[in-house]
Structure 1
Amino acid sequence: MERRERDIEQYFRNECRKRGFLCLKFVSPSRNGVPDRVVVTPAATVFVELKKPGSSLRKIQRVTHSKLRRHGAAVYVVDGRRSADRLLAELSDGRRPVAEPNDHETF
């Protein structure tokens, strides 16, 4: 079981590549709290926050994710292989994931 966020991010990035998805590192120099990755698939473009198991979003992340969602963006939190696999399976099936979590839940 992965214990570090970077392990989860590496797993997620590798699984995206296997599926032919673009998995872009998202950095916004003038704004804190943006999700870690932008995933572009034929089905959807989504933002993904990667967390280690059991960790919570910081307040600035919750606020920023809420703003993105209010503007129509899909934002998901992945906290391990199982949640990564669930999200990527739905995107692989050509669907936009239906269970978009609120600010405190993971996918």
Structure 2
Amino acid sequence: MVTEKQIEQAVVREVKKMGGLAVKFVSPSLNGVPDRIILLPKCKIAFAEIKAPGKKMRPLQLKRKQTFENLGFHVYCIDNLEMIGGILHEIQST
């Protein structure tokens, strides 16, 4: 079984391969923010909440996701390795 840590490491690795950064996002003044800020070349930015397979976002995380999306940012919940390539392609294409 793949762990949340392995998924997060894979996200960081794949973003780096694309010439970007997947920065750990910690906000002491705002709980429930996504785990990573994904920065890709040509000013592409999105947020990712990383979860263990089958795990869902908590209510506060869903609230933050909605807030960020209302500001125009994309927020993805990644809970398996197979999702990573498609999500990164989507971020790069928008």
TM norm structure 1: 0.80
The residue aligned with 2:14 is 15
Q: Which runs of 5+ in 1 are unaligned?
A: 97-107
Higher RCO (Cα < 8 Å, 6 or more apart): 2
The Cα offsets for residues 63-82 of structure 1, whole Å up to 9 and x where unpaired, read as 11111111111111111111
The Cα offsets for residues 3-23 of structure 1, whole Å up to 9 and x where unpaired, read as x21110001101111111111
**Counterpart contact for 1:39–1:46, Cα < 8 Å:** yes
Show structure 1 runs of 4+ deviating over 2 A.
Answer: none
The residue aligned with 1:82 is 82
Q: Offset of 1:38 from its aligned partner?
A: 0.6
Q: Offset of 1:89 from its aligned partner?
A: 2.8
Q: CA RMSD in A?
A: 1.4
Cα distance in 1, alignment partners of residues 85 and 56 from structure 2:
20
**Counterpart contact for 1:43–1:95, Cα < 8 Å:** no
The residue aligned with 1:46 is 46
Larger strand percent = 2
Percent pairwise identity: 37
TM norm structure 2: 0.90
Q: Which runs of 5+ in 2 are unaligned?
A: none
Q: Match of 1:38, as an amino acid?
A: I
